[in-house]
Amino acid sequence: MEIFIKNSALPYYLQIKEVIKERIKANIYPVDTLIPSENVLSQEFSVTRATIRSALMELKKQGLIRTEKGKGSVVCNPAIEQSLLRFYSFSRDFKKSSFNSKTTIIEKREIPAPWDIAEKLALNENEGVFEITRLRWFNEYPMIIETAFVPAKLFPGLLSHNLEEKSIYDLIEYRYGIKIKKAKEYISPKAADVEEANYLGIEAGAPVFFTERTTIAADQRAIEIRRSIIRGDKYTFYTELY
> pLDDT tens, 118-150?
999 999 988 999 999 999 998 778 999 999 999
Identify the CATH homologous superfamily for domain 80-238: Chorismate lyase-like (3.40.1410.10)
In this structure, whether the domain defined by 12-75 belongs to CATH 2.40.50.140 is answered with no
- Rounded alpha-carbon distances, angstroms, from residue 104 to 87, 148, 173, 178, 180: 22, 14, 22, 25, 24
Q: Which helix (H) or strand (E) holds 57?
A: helix 49-61
Question: Using alpha carbons only, what angle is made at residue 108 by residues 105 and 110, rounded to the nearest 5 degrees?
Answer: 175
Tell me how far apart the alpha carbons of residues 133 and 148 are, in angstroms, rounded to a whole number. 6
The pLDDT assigned to 124 comes to 92
The answer to whether 217 and 239 have CB atoms below 8 angstroms apart is no
pLDDT in tens, 158-178: 999 999 999 999 999 999 999
| 112, 116, 121, 122: CA torsion to nearest 10 | 90
| 187, 193, 195, 197: CA torsion to nearest 10 | 80
Least confident of 65-79, 111-125, 196-210, 214-228: 65-79
Predicted TM-score (pTM) of the model is 0.71
Per-residue pLDDT for 2 more than 60? no
Q: Is it true that 12-75 and 80-238 share their CATH fold?
A: no
Give the β-pairing of 235-238 and 80-83.
parallel
Chain mean position to CA 93: 12
Where do the structural domains in the chain lie, given as residue ranges?
Answer: 12-75, 80-238
For the chain, first and last CA: distance in Å? 37
The pLDDT assigned to 26 comes to 84
The pLDDT assigned to 32 comes to 84
